[in-house]
Amino acid sequence: MNATEKAERLKLAVQKSGRLTDNSLELLKNCGLKLSRGRDQLMGFGENMPLDVLFVRDDDIPDLVQEDVCDLGLVGRNVLEEKRLEMIAKGHKPSFTELRTLEYGRCRLALAIPDGFNYEGARSLAGKRIATSYPFTLENWLRERGVSADIVTLSGAVEIAPRLGRADLICDLVSTGSTLQANHLREVETILESQALLIRTPVELPEGKQEWVDRLLMRIDGVQQVRESKYIMLHAPRSALPEIRRLLPGSESPTIIPLEGSGDRVAIHAVCRENVFWETLESLKKAGASALLVLPVEKMLA
């Protein structure tokens, strides 16, 4: 590989080992990327695309992308927002560009109180100690509400801080809520809704790299679209068409094909951008449809 070829390869930062890792790698695989991981496991080399993956801690991803060490990054909104607010607080200008919101890594940054805490809105937080790993996001939220509280910054095990007497309540990430429940904490406010994002460097990319970013985006859109999509085929009398079109969930114009030798009956094929449930099939049958078939969609390119 010569120097120009190397410069033309995209570098994408992905969490090395954590909650975003499997989904990020699955997304890239669904976009057609074949990755061979180096012996040190720090880099993955794209065998069939000029794209290499750098495996790092999620907290390092915003800086790596902002500083143009990596062209792209897959990171949670919670981490990006905290970094953005930290930079602003320190007088720097954040310049992250979000390219896509992805459908994994969903969670929320929430305030949670222990038994016996009387919460009646943000003003109940005045003067209280709040343990969190997201001090800038929390501070921003409190400032917007004109509340002054004592933020106790912890890097982990935030949920046990009230029991240890280190804080009166916490502000932490929640997905299922079982960690809060296990620690007798009750969620009272959502500070931030989060999911994984694809971000890019603020620096303009050379043409060859930009072309691959555009191709990757098109494939990501395709992958995200097919996840819920179904291809549905059925037979029906032509007169039932308006009702059937109404019943097909999230479909654009269906393909109508006359059926040889069956008079008024036609075959209808449509892509539904939502899941097709049994109830829908039953309604379609009632409307006159027969020979119903629902198939998964593997790839889609608009």
65: partner contacted, choices ligand PRT, Zn ion, none (Cβ within 5-8 A by kind): none
Nearer to ligand PRT, 196 or 226 (CB): 196
For ligand PRT, the closer CB: 19 or 235: 19
Joined together, the tokens standing for residue 109 give 């940054």
| Closer residue to ligand PRT (CB): 41 or 175 | 175
Position 275 contacts ligand PRT (CB under 6 A): no
Query: Which CB atom, from 64 or from 236, has the smaller least distance to Zn ion?
Result: 64
Pairing of strands 150-153, 129-132: parallel
User: Nearest Cα to 300, choosing from 30, 19, 37, 1?
Assistant: 30
Using CB under 6 A as the binding criterion, the count of chain residues that bind ligand PRT stands at 21
Q: Should residue 192 be labelled a site residue for ligand PRT when binding is judged by CB under 6 A? A: no
As a dihedral over the C-alpha atoms of residue 81, residue 87, residue 90, residue 92, rounded to 10 degrees, the angle is -150
Q: How far is the CB of 59 from Zn ion (least distance, A)?
A: 4
Q: Which is nearer to Zn ion, 15 or 229 (CB)?
A: 15
Min dist CB 294 to ligand PRT, Å, is: 31
Position among 24, 66, 78, 201 found at the interface with ligand PRT (CB under 6 A): 78
> Among all chains, which residue has been given the structure tokens 């985006």?
217
Angle between helices 207-226 and 21-30 (to 10 degrees): 100
Angle between helical axes of 135-144 and 77-89 (0-180°, round to 10): 70
Residue closer to ligand PRT (CB basis): 15 or 66: 15
179-207: burial string, b at 16+ Cβ within 10 Å, e else: ebeebebbebbebbebbbbbbbbeeebee
- Whole-number minimum distance, CB 83 to ligand PRT, in Å? 11
Among the listed ranges 43-51, 72-80, 222-230, 280-288, the one in contact with ligand PRT (CB under 6 A) is 72-80
Backbone angles phi, psi at 172, to 5 degrees: -145, 170
Residues that bind ligand PRT (CB under 6 A): 15, 18-20, 57-59, 76, 78-79, 105, 107, 172-179, 194
